[in-house]
C-alpha cells in the first residue's frame, strides 16, 4: 500500500538511486581512463543494461498477473531510468553528437525517444488532474457512442422546437453552426493546449448570436440545446486529452524499438570491429 | 430523452486489448452493441441475435439499444433489423504494435542495405560508419578503407559472427605499418623494465583513439594517464617533477673536442683571433623555428677560420729508406730506423715472419718492379680489398719505383728539395722518407691511414700487437698525428674491446635520453642561449680525453636546471604537460610497405 510516508520518500529514493547509478559508472570510468583502460566498454554495457530495464516496463504491463510490483512504481523507475540513460549516454559518447552515420542515427533516435518520453511524462502528470476537474468521467473507447448520443439528442431538440413553435430559426441556425460541432469532437488544439477556452468562446458566441431572434418558447429549446453542447465540450476535452495521453505512445514505443535495435547493431559492430 | 450521464456499458469489446473497434464508432456514428469479431469482421449487421423460445423466435435486442423491436425476428430466425456492415478499424494498441513492427522492419532493411551495398572495393558502409578517420590514416588507407585495419571487414557473415566472439588484436594491425625501436607491445617499447618493477603489455588503443575526424586528436592522453603507470608520480612539471640530473643534457663526451669555455672566454678574446671568431652561437649552431635540433655548421664554415692552416703542418711518414746494406748483411738489417708502419707492416705474422731486412728487401723489390700495385696488394691483404687504393690514392707509381730500384741497387736516392702543397712526396731528413701532406680538412688519404692504423691495433693478443700499437699511437698522436685530426676528433676505446680504438668523424651533439625531446627551433628568439647554456670555466674539459675509455662526458657548460624551464612552462603560462618533452615511443617510424601502399 502506498502510505503517505512512502509517497513522500519515493522521489528522494528515486533521485538517490539515479545519482548513485550514475556516479558508480562515472567513477569507474574515470579510474579506467586514468589507468589506460577502456571506460567506453563499462559505460556502454551499463547504459545498455538500463535501456533493457526500461523496456521491461512494457513487459510488466503485459504480465499484469505476475507480482512484479505496481505499475506506478515501475513508471517512477522508468522515468528515473530515462533521465539516467541521458546522462549515461553523454558519459559513454563523451560528446553531444557523434560523427559516424549510423551512430548519428542512433543518437538522433535516442534524443527523440528521450524527448518523447519527457513530453509523455508531462502529459501523464498534467492531464489526469484536469480531466478529473472537468467533472465528467468517460472511457476513451466510449466517446464515439457518447458523441453520437449527444448528436441525436441535439437533433431531437431542434425538431421538437420546430414542431412546437412552427419556427425554423433555431433549426436553420443549428444546420449552419452546431450541426458541424455535434458531428465529431472539435477544437482539438484548443482543448489540448488551453483547456478549451477558444471552444467555449465559440459556443457562447453561437448561442448568443441566435438568442436575439428567438421567442421565449424557442429560447427554452435553445437552453436545452446549449446544455447538450456544453456536455459535448467536456467530451471534446476528454477526447483531446486522452488522445494525447494514448497516442504519444505511437511515437514513443516505435522509437524505443528502433533505438534498441540500433543499440544491438552497435554492440554487434563493436564486437566485430573493436574488441 | 436522457441527456445526463452516459448509458451503462453495453459490451466488453471497447476494452483496449481487442484488436478492432467498430467502424461506425470510428466514423463518429453510434457503435453497434456487438463490436467486430477478433478477425476484424463487422458484428453489427443485425441488431439482435433472436432466441427460439417455445417454437417461436424472440427479439433479444438489448434495452440500451431500444429493447425488443416491433417487427420481431424473421421466420427463419434471422433478425429483421439489418444494417450494412461497417469497416472495423484497428484499435490504437493494435496500430501501435503494427507501426512498431513496420519501423523495426524498415530499420533492418536499411541496416542490411547500408551495410551490404557500402562494402567492397574499399568503400565504407554507411551502416557501419563510426566516423571519419584522422587525415594521416585516411590518406594511407585509401583504397582499402576499413579493411586496412579491421581484418573482419572483408569476411563474410560467418566470418563476422566469428569475429564478434573472438578477441581482435588491433595492436597487431597497427604494427603492420608502425615500427619502433623495441617491442611494440611493451611500455615505451623498452625490452627491459626491471628498474620499474612489474609492467603490463600495452595496447595501442589505450592511448590512441581513431575515428574522431580529420582534425581529431589521435592521442588524447593526459598527464594523469602517464602517472598511472609510473611509480614516482607528481602533479606536473612545477609540482613534483624531479630535478634534472646535474650534467643534463651532457652525459657523453661526444665525437668532437671543442672546449667552449676556452674558446669563448680565452681564444676569441685574443687580438689575433678576435676578428675571425664567431660573434654569436648561431654562427656555428644554426636552427630554424621548424627544427628540433641544432645544425652545427661544418669545419669549413666555422673552425677553418683559425684551424685550416694547421692541418697541412703534420705529414704522414709512411716509408723511410735506411742505408742499403750489403747483400750479405741484408738479413741483419734492423727496424731501428724504420717508420712504425714499416716496423709493423713488414713483420706481420710474428715469429713466422721473415727477418726485417729480408722483408724490406722483398718489399722494395716489389715496389721497384710493380710500383704501387704490389704495395696496394699488400695493403689489401692486411685489411680488406680496395683499402690499398684508398690508402695510396694520388701516389704516382714513379714515386715508388725509382727510389726502390735505386735502393735495391745500393745507389743513392736524392729526393727533390721542392715540397708540394699537398700529396705524396719524398723528403730527405736523416734518411729519404715517403711522406703524405694532407690537402686540408677531411683529406681522404689521411682519413684512410688513420682508420687503417686504428684497425691495425685491434687484436691485443696478436704476435705483432706491440708494433701495431706503436704504429697506431704514432698516427693518432695528439700533436703529431697526420693533419692534426686527433686534435679535434675523439679517439675512443669501445667498452667491448678496450685495446681497440675508434675515431669519431662526425659531430654528434648532446644526446638526450630516450623518450626525451627538446626543440631548439621553438625557443628561437624567446630566450638567449646563455639562459640555459651557461659556460663553466672551471670544468675539466680536457681531462676527460686523457683516457681512451668512453667515460661520462664533461661539458664546458653547466647542466641545465629544471628552473630554466619552469620560468615559462608552468600552469597558466606555456604548455607543461608530459608529452611536450617526453616521447612515449622509442624510435617511431613507418615501415616501407605502408608508404608503398
Q: What is the pLDDT of residues A8-17, one digit of tens each?
A: 888 999 999 9
Among A95, A116, A184, A273, the strongest candidate for a mutation testing the B interface, having the largest count of B CBs within 10 A, is: A273
Q: With an 8 Å Cβ cutoff, are A100 and B129 in contact?
A: yes
Q: With an 8 Å Cβ cutoff, are A100 and B130 in contact?
A: yes
Q: Residue B20 pairs with which residues in a beta bridge?
A: B90
Nearest CA to B588 out of B206, B44, B26, B174 is that of: B174
Going by their DSSP bridges, the two strands B295-296 and B89-90 should be labelled as unpaired
What digits encode the pLDDT tens for the residues B536-573? Answer: 988 889 888 888 887 778 888 998 999 989 989 998 99
Q: With an 8 Å Cβ cutoff, are A99 and B21 in contact?
A: no
Count of CB atoms situated within 10 Å of the CB of B485: 23
Q: Say how far apart CA A232 and CA A15 lie, in whole Å.
A: 42
Q: Say how far apart CA B177 and CA A100 lie, in whole Å.
A: 25
Chain B partners of A272 at a C-beta cutoff of 8 Å?
Answer: 150, 152, 160, 163-164
Interface of A with B in 104-123 (CB under 8 A): none
Of A103, A142, A257, the CB nearest to B103: A257
Nearest CA in chain A to B128: A102
Q: Cell numbers at residue B366, please?
A: 716489389
Judge whether A266 is closer than 8 Å to chain B, CB to CB: no
Count of CB atoms situated within 10 Å of the CB of A166: 8
Between vectors from CA B235 to CA B231 and to CA B236, what angle results, nearest 5°? 110
The proportion of chain B whose per-residue pLDDT surpasses 70, expressed as a percent, equals 93
Q: Cell numbers at residue B191, please?
A: 625490452
Q: Say how far apart CA B266 and CA B260 lie, in whole Å.
A: 10
Chain A partners of B31 at a C-beta cutoff of 8 Å?
Answer: 144-145, 148
Least confident of A70-84, A259-273, B24-38: B24-38
What digits encode the pLDDT tens for the residues B81-95? Answer: 888 999 999 998 899
Q: Is B162 helix (H, G, I), strand (E, B) or coil?
A: helix
Between vectors from CA B577 to CA B573 and to CA B578, what angle results, nearest 5°? 150
DSSP chain A: ---HHHHHHHHHHHHHHHHHHHHHHHHHHHHHHHTT--HHHHHHHHHHHHHHHHHHHHHHHH-TTS----HHHHHHHHHHHHHHHHHHHHHHHSSSS-SSHHHHHHHHHHHHHHHHHHHHHHHHHHHHHHHHHTT----GGGHHHHHHHHHHHHHHHHHHHHHHH---HHHHHIIIIIHHHHHS---HHHHHHHTTHHHHHHHHHHHHHHHTT--HHHHHHHHHHHHHHHHHHHHHHHHHHHHHHHHTHHHHHHHHHHHHHHHHHHHHHIIIII-
Among B30, B31, B118, B186, the strongest candidate for a mutation testing the A interface, having the largest count of A CBs within 10 A, is: B30
Q: What is the pTM of this model?
A: 0.75
Q: With an 8 Å Cβ cutoff, are B25 and A250 in contact?
A: no
Q: Chain B: give the shortest CA distance to residue A15, in Å.
A: 31
Chain centroid, CA B550 distance in Å: 27
Beta-carbon contacts of residue B358 (< 8 Å; ≥ 6 apart):
B330, B331
CB B499 within 8 Å of CB B491: no
Q: What is the mean pLDDT of chain B?
A: 85
pLDDT value at A257 more than 60:
yes
Least confident of A52-66, A113-127, A227-241, B318-332: B318-332
What digits encode the pLDDT tens for the residues A191-212? Answer: 999 989 999 999 999 999 999 9
Any idea which residue has 429493447 for its cell?
A: B67
Task: Taking each helix axis as running N to C, give the angle between helix A216-247 and helix A197-211, from 0 to 180 degrees, rounded to the nearest 10.
Answer: 160
Q: Is B456 helix (H, G, I), strand (E, B) or coil?
A: helix
Beta-carbon contacts of residue B492 (< 8 Å; ≥ 6 apart):
B501, B502, B503, B504, B548, B549, B550
Q: Chain B: give the shortest CA distance to residue A6, in Å.
A: 31
Q: What is the mean pLDDT of residues A109-134?
A: 94
CB B48 within 8 Å of CB B69: yes
Q: Chain A: give the shortest CA distance to residue B117, in Å.
A: 15
DSSP B551-582: PBP--SBPPPPHHHHHTTSSTTSS---HHHHB
Q: Is B16 helix (H, G, I), strand (E, B) or coil?
A: coil
The contacts found for B459-465 with CB under 8 angstroms, 24 or more apart, are B459/B499, B460/B499, B462/B350, B463/B349, B463/B350, B463/B351, B464/B344, B464/B347, B464/B348, B464/B349, B464/B350, B464/B353, B465/B499
pLDDT value at B349 more than 80:
no
CB B260 within 8 Å of CB B302: no
Q: What is the mean pLDDT of residues A159-169?
A: 94
Q: With an 8 Å Cβ cutoff, are A249 and B107 in contact?
A: no
Interface of A with B in 206-265 (CB under 8 A): 224, 227-228, 231, 246-247, 249-250, 253-255, 257-258, 261-262, 265
Q: Say how far apart CA B428 and CA A273 lie, in whole Å.
A: 83
Any idea which residue has 711518414 for its cell?
A: B317
Cβ density class B164-186: b for 16+ within 10 Å, e for less:
beeebebbeebbebbbbebebbb
Of B6, B24, B207, the CB nearest to A142: B6
Element (H, E) at B432: strand B432-437
Q: Chain A: give the shortest CA distance to residue B34, in Å.
A: 13
Between vectors from CA A11 to CA A8 and to CA A13, what angle results, nearest 5°? 100
Q: Say how far apart CA B25 and CA B17 lie, in whole Å.
A: 17
Identity of the highest mean pLDDT range in A40-49, B38-47, B81-90, B194-203: A40-49
Q: With an 8 Å Cβ cutoff, are B129 and A247 in contact?
A: no
Going by their DSSP bridges, the two strands B178-179 and B432-437 should be labelled as unpaired
Tell me what pLDDT residue B501 has: 84
Of B3, B26, B152, the CB nearest to A273: B152
Q: Chain A: give the shortest CA distance to residue B177, in Å.
A: 18
Of A34, A138, A247, the CB nearest to B6: A138
Q: Print the SS3 string covering A189-237.
A: HHHHHHCCHHHHHHHHHHHHHHHCCCCHHHHHHHHHHHHHHHHHHHHHH
Tell me what pLDDT residue A2 has: 57
Q: Chain B: give the shortest CA distance to residue A134, in Å.
A: 14
Q: Is B104 helix (H, G, I), strand (E, B) or coil?
A: helix
Q: Cell numbers at residue B307, please?
A: 684551424
Q: Band of the pLDDT at A226, cuts 50, 70, 90?
A: very high
Least confident of A140-149, A208-217, B334-343, B411-420: B411-420
Q: Say how far apart CA A149 and CA B2 lie, in whole Å.
A: 9
Chain A partners of B146 at a C-beta cutoff of 8 Å?
Answer: 273
CB B501 within 8 Å of CB B493: yes
Q: Is B5 helix (H, G, I), strand (E, B) or coil?
A: coil
User: Which phi and psi (to 5°) does residue B344 adopt?
Assistant: -85, -50
Beta-carbon contacts of residue B287 (< 8 Å; ≥ 6 apart):
B293, B294, B295, B520, B521, B524
CB A195 within 8 Å of CB A249: no
Of B26, B104, B164, the CB nearest to A258: B104
pLDDT value at A117 more than 70:
yes
CB B284 within 8 Å of CB B296: yes
Tell me what pLDDT residue B510 has: 67
Q: With an 8 Å Cβ cutoff, are B100 and A35 in contact?
A: no
Of A139, A185, A250, the CB nearest to B14: A139
Element (H, E) at B468: helix B465-475
Of B1, B29, B146, the CB nearest to A153: B1
Chain A partners of B96 at a C-beta cutoff of 8 Å?
Answer: 249-250, 253-254
Q: What is the mean pLDDT of residues B14-22?
A: 77
What digits encode the pLDDT tens for the residues B428-453? Answer: 878 899 999 999 999 999 999 999 99
CB B426 within 8 Å of CB B403: yes
User: Which phi and psi (to 5°) does residue B400 adopt?
Assistant: -100, -40
Any idea which residue has 519501423 for its cell?
A: B103
Q: With an 8 Å Cβ cutoff, are A38 and B205 in contact?
A: yes
Going by their DSSP bridges, the two strands B20-21 and B89-90 should be labelled as antiparallel
Chain A partners of B129 at a C-beta cutoff of 8 Å?
Answer: 100-103
Judge whether A55 is closer than 8 Å to chain B, CB to CB: no
Model ipTM? 0.90
What digits encode the pLDDT tens for the residues B390-407? Answer: 999 999 998 999 999 999
Amino acid at each position: 500500500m502506498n502510505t503517505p510516508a512512502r509517497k513522500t520518500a519515493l522521489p528522494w529514493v528515486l533521485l538517490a538511486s539515479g545519482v548513485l547509478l550514475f556516479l558508480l559508472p562515472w567513477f569507474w570510468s574515470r579510474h579506467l581512463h586514468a589507468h589506460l583502460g577502456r571506460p567506453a566498454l563499462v559505460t556502454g554495457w551499463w547504459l545498455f543494461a538500463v535501456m533493457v530495464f526500461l523496456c521491461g516496463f512494457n513487459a510488466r504491463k503485459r504480465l499484469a498477473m505476475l507480482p512484479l510490483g505496481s505499475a506506478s512504481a515501475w513508471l517512477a523507475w522508468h522515468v528515473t531510468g530515462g533521465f539516467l540513460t541521458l546522462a549515461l549516454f553523454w558519459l559513454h559518447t563523451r560528446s553531444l553528437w557523434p560523427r559516424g552515420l549510423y551512430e548519428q542515427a542512433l543518437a538522433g533516435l535516442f534524443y527523440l525517444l528521450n524527448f518523447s518520453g519527457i513530453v509523455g511524462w508531462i502529459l501523464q502528470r498534467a492531464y489526469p488532474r484536469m480531466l478529473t476537474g472537468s467533472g465528467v468521467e468517460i472511457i476513451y473507447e466510449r466517446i464515439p457512442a457518447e458523441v453520437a448520443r449527444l448528436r441525436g439528442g441535439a437533433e431531437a431538440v431542434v425538431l421538437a422546437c420546430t414542431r412546437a413553435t412552427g419556427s425554423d430559426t433555431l433549426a436553420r441556425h443549428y444546420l449552419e453552426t452546431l450541426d458541424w460541432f455535434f458531428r465529431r469532437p472539435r477544437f482539438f488544439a484548443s482543448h489540448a493546449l488551453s483547456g478549451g477556452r477558444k471552444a467555449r468562446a465559440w459556443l457562447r458566441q453561437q448561442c448568443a448570436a441566435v438568442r436575439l431572434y428567438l421567442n421565449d418558447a424557442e429560447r427554452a429549446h435553445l437552453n436545452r440545446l446549449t446544455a447538450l453542447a456544453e456536455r459535448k465540450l467536456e467530451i471534446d476535452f476528454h477526447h483531446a486529452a486522452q488522445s494525447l495521453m494514448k497516442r504519444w505512445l505511437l511515437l514513443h514505443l516505435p522509437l524505443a524499438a528502433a533505438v534498441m535495435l540500433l543499440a544491438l547493431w552497435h554492440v554487434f559492430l563493436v564486437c566485430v570491429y573493436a574488441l | 430523452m436522457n441527456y445526463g450521464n452516459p448509458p451503462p456499458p453495453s459490451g466488453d469489446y471497447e476494452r483496449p486489448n481487442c484488436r478492432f473497434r467498430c467502424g461506425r464508432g470510428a466514423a463518429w456514428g453510434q457503435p453497434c452493441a456487438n463490436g467486430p469479431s477478433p478477425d476484424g469482421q463487422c458484428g453489427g449487421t443485425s441488431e439482435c441475435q433472436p432466441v427460439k423460445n417455445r417454437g417461436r423466435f424472440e427479439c433479444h435486442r438489448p434495452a440500451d439499444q431500444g429493447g425488443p423491436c416491433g417487427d420481431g425476428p424473421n421466420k427463419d430466425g434471422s433478425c429483421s433489423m439489418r444494417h450494412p456492415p461497417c469497416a472495423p478499424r484497428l484499435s490504437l494498441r493494435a496500430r501501435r504494435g503494427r507501426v512498431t513492427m513496420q519501423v523495426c522492419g524498415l530499420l533492418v532493411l536499411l541496416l542490411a542495405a547500408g551495410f551490404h551495398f557500402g562494402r567492397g572495393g574499399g568503400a565504407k558502409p554507411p551502416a557501419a560508419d563510426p566516423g571519419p578517420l584522422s587525415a594521416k590514416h585516411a590518406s594511407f588507407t585509401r583504397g582499402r578503407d576499413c579493411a586496412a585495419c579491421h581484418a573482419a571487414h572483408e569476411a563474410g557473415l560467418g566470418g563476422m559472427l566469428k569475429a564478434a566472439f573472438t578477441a581482435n588484436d588491433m595492436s597487431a594491425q597497427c604494427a603492420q605499418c608502425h615500427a619502433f625501436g623495441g617491442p611494440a607491445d611493451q611500455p615505451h617499447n623498452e625490452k627491459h623494465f626491471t628498474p620499474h618493477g612489474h609492467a603490463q603489455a600495452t595496447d595501442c588503443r589505450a592511448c590512441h583513439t581513431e575515428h574522431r575526424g580529420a582534425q581529431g586528436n589521435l592521442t588524447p592522453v593526459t598527464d594523469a594517464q602517464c602517472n598511472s603507470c609510473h611509480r614516482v608520480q607528481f602533479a606536473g612539471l612545477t609540482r613534483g617533477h624531479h630535478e634534472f640530473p646535474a650534467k643534463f643534457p651532457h652525459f657523453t663526451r661526444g665525437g668532437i673536442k671543442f672546449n667552449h669555455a676556452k674558446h669563448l672566454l680565452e681564444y676569441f678574446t685574443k687580438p689575433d683571433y678576435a676578428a675571425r671568431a664567431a660573434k654569436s652561437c648561431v654562427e656555428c649552431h644554426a636552427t630554424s623555428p621548424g627544427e628540433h635540433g641544432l645544425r652545427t655548421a661544418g669545419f669549413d664554415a666555422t673552425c677553418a677560420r683559425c684551424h685550416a692552416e694547421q692541418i697541412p703542418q703534420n705529414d704522414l711518414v709512411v716509408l723511410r729508406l735506411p742505408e742499403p746494406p750489403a747483400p750479405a748483411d741484408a738479413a741483419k738489417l734492423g727496424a731501428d730506423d724504420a717508420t712504425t708502419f714499416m716496423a709493423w707492416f713488414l713483420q706481420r705474422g710474428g715469429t713466422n715472419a721473415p727477418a726485417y731486412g729480408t722483408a724490406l728487401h722483398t718489399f722494395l723489390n716489389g715496389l721497384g718492379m710493380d710500383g704501387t700495385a704490389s704495395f696496394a696488394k699488400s695493403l689489401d691483404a692486411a685489411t680488406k680489398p680496395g683499402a690499398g687504393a684508398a690508402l695510396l690514392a694520388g701516389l704516382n707509381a714513379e714515386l715508388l719505383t725509382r727510389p726502390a730500384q735505386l735502393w735495391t741497387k745500393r745507389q743513392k736516392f736524392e729526393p727533390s728539395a721542392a715540397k708540394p702543397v699537398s700529396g705524396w712526396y719524398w723528403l730527405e731528413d736523416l734518411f729519404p722518407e715517403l711522406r703524405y701532406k694532407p690537402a686540408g680538412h677531411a683529406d681522404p688519404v689521411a682519413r684512410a691511414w688513420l682508420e687503417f692504423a686504428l684497425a691495425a691495433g685491434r687484436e691485443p693478443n696478436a704476435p705483432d700487437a706491440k708494433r701495431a700499437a706503436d704504429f697506431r699511437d704514432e698516427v693518432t698522436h695528439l700533436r703529431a698525428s697526420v693533419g692534426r685530426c686527433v686534435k679535434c676528433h675523439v679517439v675512443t676505446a669501445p667498452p667491448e674491446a678496450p685495446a681497440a680504438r675508434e675515431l669519431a668523424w662526425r659531430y654528434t651533439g648532446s644526446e638526450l635520453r630516450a623518450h626525451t625531446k627538446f626543440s631548439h627551433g621553438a625557443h628561437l628568439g624567446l630566450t638567449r642561449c646563455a639562459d640555459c647554456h651557461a659556460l663553466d670555466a672551471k670544468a675539466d674539459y680536457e681531462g676527460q680525453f686523457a683516457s681512451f675509455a668512453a667515460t661520462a662526458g664533461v661539458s664546458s657548460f653547466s647542466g641545465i636546471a629544471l628552473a630554466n624551464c619552469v620560468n615559462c612552462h608552468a600552469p597558466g603560462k606555456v604548455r607543461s604537460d608530459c608529452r611536450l618533452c617526453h616521447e612515449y615511443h622509442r624510435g617511431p617510424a613507418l615501415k616501407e610497405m605502408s608508404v608503398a601502399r
